[in-house]
Homo-oligomer: A and B are copies of this chain.
Amino acid sequence: MTIPKITLIGVGLLGGSIGLAARQRGVAGQVTGLVRRTESVEECRAAGAVDVATLDLAEAVTGAELVILCTPVGGMKAMAEAIKPYLAPDAVVTDVGSVKASVVTEVEPVLPRFVGSHPMAGSEQTGVANARSDLFENAVCAVTSTDQSDAACVARVNEFWTALGSHVISLPAAEHDTIVARTSHLPHVLASALVNAVLGQLREGEAAFLGTGFRDTTRLASGSSAMWRDIAMDNAPAIEQAIDDLQAELATLKTALNAREATALETFFAKGQEFRQQWITGLKDVERE
């Protein structure tokens, strides 16, 4: 698969990594990146992320077969409207936003050939200087087509992510958002809540008692607060539901603690131990295959 011209709207960690991977793998004949600052033109070239970096929207979009929106989720609708006048009639558009229902609902009416994507890759780092050509290798990429989606557009988006080494999973946008609220956003929210409840109200002498367990459990709290604010804004209802599910578990535990019910307490911890063991064992099976 070679796409003559791919355009990245925004060239940060994700956009830059797409550019690097598409160029190295011969997936793109040419990669153009739209940036907002003059300095970024040189940064993109230095990183090898694009063939052409430009601040000119018309230049960036004109003639592209595939346009990938790599800008914050909150501004996707405005960006879709901005690129629309320059878009070739058969161009396919996708994005990399980590929340999908709001994006699909807003962008699809503007750009009928839009199909939402969420490559499950990234790191605590940001910026094109940290872009990596292997960022999407063996990563899961959710593709959230709708009843309105053009089958050829969906196929093209699926092929593109597959060509970058990702495993495509197709599912509805709302289901995607519910799942990532549970598997990704809830762990992050808990890590931040744990830091705020302990480190934010540190008792005298308490620091000496914080060890590797606390460090690992709170690792996610070190992510970008601006990015997580946006995710929380965009996926608020699903995150609230995920928190409710977690709080139901804590309520069960508190009842058992309050009544000193040894059996119920052991069941709570044994479930956690067993479910996690089954999951980890399954992961090892997958890795062996």
Chain B residue with the shortest CB-CB distance to A212: B219
Q: Flag if B276 contacts A218 (CB, 8 Å).
A: yes
Contact with B along A184-207 (1 / 0, CB 8 A): 101111111111111111010111
Which residues of the other chain, B, contact A140 by a CB distance below 8 angstroms?
Answer: 208-209
A216 to B66, CA, bound (A): 36
Q: A43: shortest Cβ distance to chain B, in Å? A: 24
Report the copy number of this chain in the oligomer: 2
Q: A117: shortest Cβ distance to chain B, in Å? A: 14
- Knowing A205-B171, A216-B219, the reply to whether A260 touches B236 (Cβ < 8 A) is yes
Q: Flag if B216 contacts A220 (CB, 8 Å).
A: yes
Q: A286: shortest Cβ distance to chain B, in Å? A: 9
Chain A positions 111-132 with a Cβ under 8 Å from a chain B Cβ: 120
Chain B residue with the shortest CB-CB distance to A191: B217
- Knowing A213-B188, A221-B272, A240-B257, the reply to whether A207 touches B266 (Cβ < 8 A) is no
Which residues of the other chain, B, contact A245 by a CB distance below 8 angstroms?
Answer: 197-198, 201
A273 to B248, CA, bound (A): 26
A42 within 8 A of B: no
Q: A211: shortest Cβ distance to chain B, in Å? A: 7
**Which of B217, B236, B254 contacts A258, CB < 8 Å?**
B236
- Knowing A206-B179, A225-B273, A240-B254, the reply to whether A194 touches B190 (Cβ < 8 A) is yes
Which residues of the other chain, B, contact A223 by a CB distance below 8 angstroms?
Answer: 269, 273
A198 to B243, CA, bound (A): 11
Interface-forming stretch among A23-31, A79-87, A227-235? A227-235
A217 to B247, CA, bound (A): 16
A178 within 8 A of B: yes
Q: Flag if B182 contacts A253 (CB, 8 Å).
A: no
Q: Known pairs A193-B272, A218-B276; list 5 more (Cβ under 8 Å).
A: A191-B217, A194-B249, A222-B272, A228-B269, A243-B257
